[in-house]
Structures are given as C-alpha cells and as structure tokens.
Amino acid sequence: MQITLNIPDDLARQVAPEGKDPARVALEALALEGYRSELLSESALRQMLGFQTRMEVHAFLKQHSVYLHYDVSDLQQDRVTAQQVRAKIQSSESRGERRSG
C-alpha cells in the first residue's frame, strides 16, 4: 500500500535530519510506533523497512532506544533451548566428538 502525506516543506525539514529522506523518516516513525504499541512484530518491522535480518531490526530499535518485546515465556523458551543445546554438546563430548568453532 502506498500512503501519501502532504507536509509543508519547512515542517518536513524540521522532522527529517539533513540528508535524510523525509519519506523514509516518516516510514521509520510509523514502524517504530507500531512496534512500541505492539501492533507490529519484529518480522513485520523487518519487512516494512526492508531489512534482511533480525539483527538489523535489533540495531534499528536500539538506535531509537526501543526495547525488544521479550517476556517471561520468551525467557522460558530460551532456557529450554539452552538446556537442549548443552545436553547435545555434552552428549557429543562424551562420545569423543570434537566441537567445531
């Protein structure tokens, strides 16, 4: 979808830093507010802003002082994953396999 905003030039210059495309500034502001209000996910942000990776999204959010949405269920899932990885590594080591990396 394409959205057109009509903003006076002097106001556009006030909200868009020198050398930045005012349309991109507006898109980023919309994306940030959508994420802050939990209307947009990380994946939606990545798609909307044309980023290739989650790391680009994380860097963008950090640059704008926006925290990742991370709750207790995310922590619990990360703990389960870490335990699974640890068990797999320990199993490999007990069979005499070497870790690469």
pLDDT (tens digit per residue) in 37-95 = 999 999 999 999 999 999 999 999 999 999 988 888 888 989 999 999 999 998 888 88
Residue corresponding to tokens 């963008």: 60
Q: Which residue has the higher pLDDT, 1 or 45?
A: 45
With residues binned 3-state (H G I as helix, E B as strand, rest as coil), the percentages for the chain, rounded to 5, are 60, 0, 40
Q: DSSP E strands: which ranges in 1-101?
A: none
pTM score > 0.75 for this model? no
